[in-house]
Amino acid sequence: MREVAIIGVGVTKFGELWDASFRDLGIEAGLKAMNDANLTGSEVDGMYIGNMSSGRFIDQHHIGALIADYSGMASRNVPATRIEAAGASGGMAFRQGVMAVASGMNDVVVVGGAEKMTDVTDEATNAVMDSAADQQWEATMGATFASLNAMIARRCMYEGIATREQIASVAVNGHAHGALNPDAQFRKAITLDTVLKAGMVADPLGLFDCAPISDGAAAVVLCPLDAAKRYTDKPVKVLASSQTSDTLALFQRKEITSFAATAAAARQAYSLAGIGPEDIAVAEVHDHFTIEGILALQDLGLFKKGEAGKAVMEGQAAIGGKVAVNTSGGLKARGHPIGATGVAQIVEIARQLRGDADKRQVPNARYGLAQNVGGTGSTVVVSIMEAV
């Protein structure tokens, strides 16, 4: 298989974007990425789009064709493939794009992720979110993602894996970084007290332990590594993109203080990349809830189990710490337009490895990792990139 490079990245502002439609957002991110790659549309020969629920959020299925159409690609019959895996939709679309270029099936691929969540009622949004869990055995019984993650948090606290304060510190870290990201939904640093005293959502998780509902889109352009210099002086090499599954329902796991699918995807990805967790300088992890941020750090091997929470609290996940985690702000502060998240993670890692991350730049970052999760660890994609 061919080696693959990221040659362009683009992202919209994330937030409650009531004056932008789904198609506006998708096109904005795609054009930014193509401009960043100094690319004209005529060179693109494949598109992958991560999206969870355009069918319920905007009453529109078949958004591959929609994006191909509105980007002008349909005039050349460019194939456009939509991928859905709840929160992992974007990371999975990225992996399929990497596969398309690596295999030789395509030469220049645009991978986009987009979600327009705020045009429906809160009730409708909640119903969509719940449908990423096991509808039959979880959602129907009243379980929500907040309550499932609250159970994980409780168990972690009980087993001494992390304290309430340590879990809360994931949000503090995210907000500190989000304040430096002009595209983030929340750009205000917060204190531990803000998280601990926020209104309760599902005990022990409060409002600031939960990522927001967001609109937004992100895109990257891929091509073979040996062609990348035609487009950019700063290509980013994709070393690995590994995808795994676990049970859909949380209660069927052997343990809930670890996501086995993250650990398995990480093992595969490190092996393919030929590096270990100690080499990662910058990581975007799927902190849909703060506790997921703790689990990610331990399951990816970035910190030992039982030490991740302490490390975050001590600033080891901040810019300048052992490994800079969620420099974009993460799902909590950058925002979480579901299908866009996995692609936005790749955008942030690429910017860091190119040295383009402005005020939130991690100095001399060589290796970066993105971890994207669907459901409560039911689907995980771990991708590793290298500055070249």
Q: Does 64 bind its own copies (CB under 8 A)?
A: yes
Query: Quick one: which of 43, 45, 99, 118 contacts its own copies (CB under 8 A)?
Result: 99
Q: Which residues contact 150 (CB under 8 A, 6 or more apart)?
A: 201, 202, 203, 204, 205
In 3D space, the residue among 250, 283, 274 whose CA is nearest the CA of residue 365 turns out to be 283
Q: Residue 15 gets which letter from DSSP?
A: B
Segment interacting with its own copies (CB under 8 A) among 57-65, 174-182, 312-320, 326-334:
57-65
300 binds its own copies (CB under 8 A): no
Residue 249 vs residues 52, 162, 322: alpha-carbon distances, Å:
18, 23, 34
- Burial of 72-102, coded b for 16+ CB within 10 Å and e otherwise, reads ebeeeebbbbbbbbbbbbbbbbbbbbbbbbb
Among 1, 121, 122, 199, binds its own copies (CB under 8 A): 1
Candidates 166, 173, 379, 383: give the one binding its own copies (CB under 8 A).
379
Q: Contact between 149 and its own copies (CB under 8 A)?
A: no
Q: What is the C-alpha to C-alpha distance for residues 331 and 338, in angstroms, rounded to an integer? A: 9
Nearer to its own copies (CB atom), residue 162 or residue 346: 346
Give the interface segment with its own copies, choosing from 127-135, 160-168, 174-182, 185-193 (CB under 8 A): 127-135
Taking the least distance from each CB to its own copies, the nearer of 62 and 359 is 62
- Match 């009730």 to its residue by tokens: 123
Alpha-carbon gap, residue 289 to 206, rounded angstroms: 10
Asked if 54 and 83 touch (Cβ cutoff 8 Å), the reply is no
Greatest Cα-to-Cα distance within the chain, rounded to the nearest angstrom: 58
Binding mask 310-349 for its own copies (x = CB under 8 A): ----------------------------------------
Binding flag, residue 198, its own copies (CB under 8 A):
no
Tokens representing residue 376 in the block: 């409560």
Does 297 help bind its own copies (rule: CB under 8 A)? no
Measured from the CB of residue 5, what is the shortest distance to its own copies in angstroms? 17
Binding site for its own copies (CB under 8 A): 1, 23, 52-53, 55-56, 58-62, 64-66, 68-69, 73-74, 77-86, 92, 96, 99-100, 102-105, 127-128, 131-136, 139, 243-249, 252, 260-261, 264-265, 374-375, 378-379
